[in-house]
Amino acid sequence: MTDTILANATLVLPGEVLRGSITLSDGRITGIASGAGVPAGAVDCGGDLVMPGLIELHTDNLERHIEPRPKVSWPHQAAIIAHDAELAGVGITTVFDALRVGSVVSKSKGNYGEYARVLADEILDLRAQGALRISHFLHLRAEICSETLVEEMAKFGPADRIGIVSLMDHTPGQRQFRDVTQLKNYVIGKHGYSEAEFEGHIAGQKELQVRFGALHERVAVAEARRYGAVLASHDDTTTDHVARSAEHGAHFAEFPTTVEAASACHDHNIRVMMGAPNLIRGGSHSGNVAAEALAKADLLDIVSSDYVPAALLQAALMLGDLWGDLPRGVATVTAAPAAATGLADRGHLDIGARADVIRVARLAGSAVVRGTWVQGRRVA
């Protein structure tokens, strides 16, 4: 592989911004120099930002490609390839594809089936074939309020590139849906339930929690250890929730719903992750705490694109402006998620680091990715 030199760039380095050039060789960063000069054969970036490739820990984007319309199933291989290309195009170079484990199969309405093992095999097979542009790991979302979690998690093992297991508990009346009115609007809008059907849904979910909650929580924590995966909590709302997450050994908290919970996470050395759409839209669609409020309180560490891949870069730049510190804003989508998942080789522009790099031009109120390199190879 020939060297790639990105010159006359605004380099976003750990803790500083430098006008200079960066050299990519044999999949690694092999040179960083200051100055606006453009050596022969180099790419003249014209002052564009050059920063580490973005690292996405929790995205539902693949689901949108697999089911582009309600009840419309798209061929999985084509969907995975399209998802991968979209992420590369918006500067994401490492992704933890979120797959739900735990299904409800006994209900006549509102049931949902198993899919994670089959889809994981398809992702891993495409990766083995060299068909994917960026680096893919798996994120198993362990749905505590389900019927089949134990059986589904048993089908995975240490060879499956599972980087994250998150504990998901969507029992009505707590965590994300402690406001049942918000849940009602969501469920009726999505599934077209009648009032009676919604009440039945609530009762059924609570009954699942009583029957399986404690067992599923224990199994999910144990399985994360067996896989060698990092554990994450989800929708912590109270200090008690956070204390339990700490007991389990959670490395980071996905979308805590209150300032109280986010502050408790920091007390327990648990990193706080919030959604980029929350930040960009100015609030949570579920009525929970705003990401901007946590950022202003110095309680925000990691950002996830959640359901809008292009939001990840925009959110990082917004945070850089909010804090008056561009490297800090960029770190929420690069160095911080890398550290939370043990990926020491990426997420920062340093000599010897993996050459996952993006070139970004800032626009009024937005930004455009002008190039994405993964291990020194241009992929978008």
Instruction: Write out pLDDT tens, residues 266-287.
Output: 999 999 999 999 999 999 877 7
* Complete domains list, the chain, with CATH: 1-52+347-380 (2.30.40.10), 54-345 (3.20.20.140)
User: Residue 254 is inside which H or E element, if any?
Assistant: strand 252-254
pLDDT at 2: 80
Q: Dump the DSSP string for 30-49.
A: EEEEESS---TT-EE-TT-E
pTM of the shown model: 0.92
Amino acid identity, position 235:
D
Rounded Cα distance between 116 and 346, Å, is 27
Question: Mean per-residue pLDDT for 19-38?
Answer: 98
pLDDT band at 176 (very low <50, low <70, confident <90, very high): low
Q: What is the pLDDT of residues 311-322, one digit of tens each?
A: 999 999 999 999
